[in-house]
Structures are given as structure tokens and as C-alpha cells.
Amino acid sequence: MGAGGEAETEDPLANPARTLAFLSSGSPEAEEARARLVEKYGDAPPEEADCIVALGGDGLMLRVLHRYLGDGKPIYGMNRGSVGFLMNQYRETSLRKRITAAKRSIIHPLLMQAVDAKGSEFRAHAINDVSLLRQTSQIAKIRIFVDGKEAMAELVADGVLVSTPAGSTAYNLSAHGPILPLNAPLMAVTPISAFRPRRWHGALLPDSATIRLEVLEADKRPVSVVADHDEFRDIVAVDVSMDQSTRHVLLHDPGHSLEERILKEQFGY
């Protein structure tokens, strides 16, 4: 019993290797691995398991994170796909020991709220980034506000994105945005092929900020918004903020944590 006579509740992360749920990307390689692991370690329903083991690449990891958004269940990924930045090396032996010894990385998603030209409203979360992209050959024109104040009257570009630290090594890096340490309380705002201002390479904002992106001349220069895998078209305004109330727990083997991988990316190896 705890103080005041209340019953103590067990920490769901105290023993994440006790019961495991195995999820596969569906590829032959991932399905074969899942069958062997289930035979060796058993398989609990994901909702009841102490830990979810994801077998695939980074695409599967993002889908699993979205599927179990907000429940705080630890997720341990093993690479059975083509890209595995978020995944651990695949090994079938001593899996429970690896999960117990794994380092925890806590990440928060972005919350995106958008309005299209017809007034319809959309809402989605993004683990990596929220990106605005031109839909046609016409270059996009976007006005940027930070916490209600105009920060840029007109960005002329193929688009612009807002990235989390965890997503800063994904599309953000390809667009020449900065790599953010995992524990940095920041968001990266990065232009995509900017035409004007020519020398603007983006901004770093506190993760407490609210970013508003307004599409100028939206009828002539239509723009879509993408929050990870969710796309909405003919958008006129987008609000992006960090959802601090929602957290994900990723598990990585010692020496290969997400934080350490991001640090390595910063030094180019």
C-alpha cells in the first residue's frame, strides 16, 4: 500500500520483456522472423503485452507508433526491412535480456491541425514531420507565424516542413535542415527548395511554440500537407505544435540508442 492507504500500481515499464507481442511488416523476411520468434517466446495480443516487438523497417515503426499513439507502451524494433534507423539489429537469441537491458528514448509527436479551401478541418499526429508541398508546377507562397506573430511575410518555395528531433534525420535532413539532439526542446522549420528569401535556411524554435503556416494565392498555387503518412490537399492554413501530452517509448540496445545514432549523424558517420 502507498501513502494514504492507496494501493500501489505496478510500473508498466518495470518489466517490459515479460510478455511480448510481435508485429510484422508483412514482407516474407519479416513474416518468417515473426513465426520463429513467436514459437520461441510466445505471442500476446498487442493491447495486453508489456512490449511490442516490431519486425520490419522504419515505415513499420512509424505505423506502429501511430497505431498505439499515446498508450506509452514500449516498442522494440528489429530490422527486417530496407531502412532501419529506428530499429535494432535483428537477432533471435536472448531477446528478453536485450529488451530488459535496452535504453529508453522518449519522443513526443507533432499535432497538426489544417483547414482546406472548402473549410473542412483535419487533425493528425506526426512522429517525424509535418510538410507543406506544392501540388502543381506553380511554386508555393506561404506566410509563417510563430505564437501568433508574423515571422515571415512570404516564403516562396516548393514547400516547408516542421520536424521533431526524432524526425530531424529524415526528410528534414534531405532538405538540408539541422540534425537535432533527441532531448533538445526544439522543432526545426526548414524550407524545401526556397526561391525567396534566397539565403533563408530555416529556423529552430522552442517546442512550446505554435507555428501557423498560411498558404497565399491558394486557388492559383494549391498546396498539400503531409503528417508522416497522412496527406490532405488544397490546404489554406496549418497549425503545428508539439503534443507534450503524448509520448512514445522506444527501446534500443546499449550503444545503439536513438540519441547515439542522431549524434553519429551529426558527425557524418
Min mean pLDDT across 110-114, 128-132, 253-257 is at 253-257
Q: Is 62 one of the annotated binding-site residues?
A: no
Q: Is 174 one of the annotated binding-site residues?
A: yes
pLDDT at position 260 is: 83
What's the CA angle centered on 191, arms 175 and 179, to 5 degrees?
Answer: 50
Where in the chain are all domains bearing CATH 2.60.200.30? 110-242
**DSSP letter string, 59-72:** HHHHHHHHHTTTS-
Q: Is position 230 annotated as part of the catalytic site? A: no
Q: Is 170 one of the annotated binding-site residues?
A: yes
Q: Is 15 one of the annotated binding-site residues?
A: no
Q: Are 46 and 68 in contact (CB under 8 A)?
A: yes
Q: What is the number of alpha carbons within 13 Å of residue 243 lying toward its C-beta?
A: 21
User: What is the tens place of the pLDDT at every residue in 226-237?
Assistant: 999 999 999 999
- Indicate the CATH number of 110-242 among 3.40.50.720, 3.30.390.10, 2.60.200.30, 2.60.40.10: 2.60.200.30
pTM: 0.87
Where in the chain are all domains bearing CATH 3.40.50.10330? 3-108+247-266
Residue whose C-alpha cell is 526561391: 195
Q: Are 143 and 213 in contact (CB under 8 A)?
A: yes
Best-predicted range by mean pLDDT among 74-83, 113-122, 175-184, 258-267? 113-122
Q: Is 128 one of the annotated binding-site residues?
A: yes
pLDDT at position 16 is: 79
Give me the phi and psi of 93, to 5 degrees please. Answer: -85, 150
149 beta partners:
146
Average pLDDT in the chain: 91
Q: Is 59 one of the annotated binding-site residues?
A: yes
- Nearest CA to 106 among 124, 127, 123, 89? 127
- Three-state DSSP class for 242? strand
What is the maximal distance between C-alpha atoms in the chain?
A: 67
Mean pLDDT calculated for residue range 139-157:
98
Q: Is 172 one of the annotated binding-site residues?
A: yes
Catalytic choice (58, 71, 207, 228): 58
Mean pLDDT calculated for residue range 144-150:
98
- State yes or no: pLDDT of 8 exceeds 50: no
Q: Which pLDDT band holds residue 11 (cuts at 50, 70, 90)?
A: low
* Beta strands 110-116 and 121-126, pairing class: antiparallel
User: What is the tens place of the pLDDT at every residue in 87-106?
Assistant: 999 999 999 999 999 999 99
Q: Is 105 one of the annotated binding-site residues?
A: no
Which 8-state DSSP code applies to residue 4?
G
Q: Are 77 and 88 in contact (CB under 8 A)?
A: yes
Mean pLDDT calculated for residue range 156-182:
95
User: What is the tens place of the pLDDT at every residue in 188-204?
Assistant: 999 999 999 999 999 99
> Does the domain at residues 3-108+247-266 carry the CATH identifier 3.40.50.10330?
yes
Q: Is 63 one of the annotated binding-site residues?
A: yes
